[in-house]
Homo-oligomer: A and B are copies of this chain.
Amino acid sequence: MTTYTAPIKDMQFLLQDVLKVTEAGIPGYEDLDRAFTAAVLEEAGKVASEVLAPLNSVGDRDGCVLENGVVRTPEGFKAAFAAMKDGGWTALDCDPAYGGQGLPYVLNSAVGEIFVSANMAFNMYQGLTHGAYSAIHAHGTDDQKATYLPKMVTCDWTGTMNLTEPHCGTDLGLLRTKAEPQADGSYKITGQKIFISAGDHDLAENIIHLVLAKAPGGGEGTKGISLFIVPKFLVNADGTLGARNAVSVGKIEDKMGIHGNATCVLNYDGATGFLLGELHKGMRAMFTMMNEARLGVGLQGYAVAEAAYQNAVAYAKDRLQGRDVTGVKNPTGPADPLIVHPDIRRNLMDQKSFVEGARALTFWGATLIDRVHRSGDAAADGLVGLLTPVIKGFQTDKGFDMAVQAQQVYGGHGYIEEWGMSQFVRDARIAMIYEGANGVQALDLVGRKLASDGGKHVMAFFELVKAECRAHDGDDRMKPFTEALKTASKQLQQAGLFFMQNGMKSPNAALAGSYDFMHLMGHVCLGLMWTRMAKAAFTALDAGSEDPAFHETKIATGRYYMARQLPACAMHLARIESGADPVMALPDAAF
C-alpha cells in the first residue's frame, strides 16, 4: 500500500517566493496571499491523503464494470466523489456566474496536482468535466451555458470529450461520425467513438458528451468537422432530466492502467446533439482549451512521479540492505538503510530534481494561462503556446521514467502489485499517449510553434533566459546555475538554427530532430526554473530564513539538476545535427 502527503511547503515556496503571485499584477492574484493558499492546499491535502489515496489501489484492482449497459465504478468512488463535490473542489476556478469560485487557474493546478498524485484515475472524472465545461463556457450560447454549466460546475453532471474513432486518432480529418441536421435545429449523431475517458459511470445524474462529427457541406478533412453537445439524458426546458439519448456503452477497454476510470467505446445511434460553436469549425472550438488540457496532462506526468517518489523515499529509509562503503550508518541494525547507497541516492535525486522542476514549470505555465484569460496578454498567450508541447511531452516522458526509477528502488517488491509501485508506472504511461501522443507534441513544437508569428515567441523565450542569467551576474553563488543554463540555452538556439538552415531544403531535417528538440527544450525550461528557485532560496537565506534546511535543500537539488541533467542537452543537439539522413536512410521494406 502506498501513501501520499501533499508537498505543501514546496508549493508555497513556488507560489509565494518564486512566482510571488500577489505581486504578479494578474487580476485575482492579489487574494492569493500566503495564508489563503496555505489554507486551500492544506484542506486539499487532507482530502487527498484521507479520501483519495486509500482508493487508489482499490480502483486499480477492481476497475470499472459494465453491467446491463451501465458502468459501475469501484467501491468507495461514489462517496469520494460526493466528498469532492461537497468540498467545492470541482468548482475552484469556474466562473462565479455559474456557481464557480472564480479562483485563478494556478491555484486550481496546485490543487489538481494534489488530487492527481493521490488518485489519478479518480481525478479524471472531474478533469474531463472541467474540459467540457471550458468548451461550453467558451463557445456555448447563453442558453447552453445556463442549461449545462451550473450542473457541470458542481459535477452533478460530468463531461466527456469524444474525438477518437477506431480508424483515426491524431488524424481527425478521417473521422466518420455523422451529424444530420433536423428540422428543430438539432442534429442526429451517428457513429462510434473510442477511448472515451469517464465515458460512462455511476457518479453523476447526467453525462454531457462533447462529440466531433461531420455535418453536411463542410468539405473534406478537418474542415468539415463540427462540435456537438450530446447529453446522456436530454434536458427538459425546466432543467429536469428527460429521455435517455441514443448513446450506449459498447464496452469498457481493458487497459494497462488507470483502471479506476472507465475508458469506453461509445456508440451513437442517431443521438440528439446540439451544435456547440460555429458549424464546420469544431476543430477550432475543440482546440481552444488545448493548452489548458495539455498542461493538465503534463501535470499528471510529474504528479504521479511525486507520489511514486514519496513512497520510494520511505522504502529507501526503511529497507535495510547492505552497508555504507564509507562506514556503517546503522550499527545496531543488521544492515544500513538503502538510502546510504550512492546509486540509490542518484536515483532519488533524479526523481526529486525532476519533480520539483516540473512543478515550477507547470505552475509558471498556469500563471501564463491566467495572464491570458484575465489580462488578455498576447505575449503570454504566445509563450504558453510554445511551452505547452514541452510541458506535455517532456514532463510525461520523464514522469514515466521517474516512476520506473521509483519502482526500481523497491527491487523485486516493486514488481509485485501489492506494493503499489507498478500502478504508478502503469498509470503514468497513458499521459505520454493521450491528449496528443508525445511525438505529435514534438511535431507541434517544431513544425508549428517555433515558427509561429515569425518566431517571435521562441525569441522571447531566449530573451527571457538571457535576462534571467544577466540578473544574477554579480552573484557567484548563482554561477553553477547561470553557466549551465547559458550553455544549454545556446545549444537550444543552435538546434533551432539547424532547423532553419536545413528545414528549407527538406522539412524532414527538422522533423527527424523534433523529439530531441522537445527534450532539449524541456531541460532548458527546467534549468531556468531551477535558476529561479535557487535565487529565491538564496534570497530567503539572506533574509534569515526560518527554515534554512528547506532552502539549502532547494539549492542542492537544483545543483544536482544542473550538473547531472543539463548535460543531456549536448546529446540532443548532436542527434539533431546528425540530420534526417540516418533517420530516413532505409526504405520501408528494410524495417
Contact = CB atoms under 8 A, between A and B. Distances in A.
Interface of A: 164, 167-171, 173-174, 194-195, 253-257, 313, 316-317, 320-322, 325-326, 334-335, 337, 339, 341-349, 352, 400, 404, 407-408, 411-412, 414-418, 422, 425-426, 429-430, 432-434, 437-439, 442-443, 447, 506-508, 511-512, 514-515, 549, 553, 556-557, 559-560, 563-564, 567-568, 570-571, 574-575, 578, 580, 582-586, 588-591
B425 A343 contact: no
Contact of A343 (B346, B348, B439): B439
B317 A591 contact: yes
A343 B557 contact: no
Nearest to A591: B313
A255 B417 contact: yes
A256 B586 contact: no
A312 to B, nearest CB: 9
A412 B442 contact: no
B416 A255 contact: yes
- Counting from the closest, the 6 A-B pairs by CB-CB distance are A567-B574, A342-B511, A256-B422, A563-B578, A556-B585, A342-B512
5 contacts: A256-B426, A325-B508, A345-B584, A553-B586, A567-B574
A432 B582 CA distance: 29
A414 B443 contact: no
Contacts of A442: 343
Nearest to A549: B590
Give how many copies assemble into the complex: 2
A487 B55 CA distance: 52
A443 to B, nearest CB: 7
Contacts of A344: 439
Nearest to A590: B553
Contacts of A170: 321-322, 411
A418 B255 CA distance: 8
Nearest to A220: B334
Given A342-B511, A343-B439, A171 B322 contact: yes
A408 to B, nearest CB: 7
Contact of A564 (B325, B337, B582, B584): B582
A567 B575 contact: yes
A571 B586 CA distance: 28
Nearest to A256: B422
Contacts of A434: 412
Given A553-B590, A559-B582, A443 B411 contact: no
A564 B580 contact: no
Given A346-B583, A567-B574, A591 B339 contact: yes
Contacts of A169: 321, 411-412
B563 A582 contact: yes
Contact of A195 (B334, B412, B571): B412
A429 B425 contact: yes
A335 to B, nearest CB: 6
A112 B150 CA distance: 62
B174 A591 contact: no
A416 B341 contact: no
A174 B347 CA distance: 24
Contacts of A195: 412
Given A342-B583, A412-B195, A575-B564, A417 B256 contact: yes
Contacts of A417: 254-256
A403 to B, nearest CB: 11
A396 to B, nearest CB: 11
A85 to B, nearest CB: 29
A247 B282 CA distance: 65
Contacts of A346: 512, 515, 583
A429 B423 CA distance: 13
Contacts of A253: 416, 418
A325 B443 CA distance: 11
Nearest to A348: B591
A349 B254 contact: no
A430 B426 CA distance: 14
A584 to B, nearest CB: 6
B171 A439 contact: no
B255 A415 contact: yes
A495 to B, nearest CB: 13
A334 B175 CA distance: 11
B511 A588 contact: no
Given A345-B584, A417-B254, A439-B343, A412 B335 contact: no
A10 to B, nearest CB: 12
A420 B326 CA distance: 46
Contacts of A426: 256, 426
A584 B583 CA distance: 39
Nearest to A554: B590
A506 to B, nearest CB: 6
Contacts of A316: 591
Given A411-B169, A418-B254, A508-B325, A560 B575 contact: no
Given A255-B417, A313-B591, A584-B342, A438 B508 contact: no
Contacts of A433: 408, 411-412, 414-415
Contact of A325 (B349, B511, B582, B590): B511
Given A164-B412, A425-B429, A553-B586, 14 more contacts: A170-B411, A195-B412, A254-B417, A326-B507, A337-B588, A343-B443, A345-B512, A408-B432, A411-B437, A412-B433, A557-B586, A563-B582, A564-B582, A571-B571
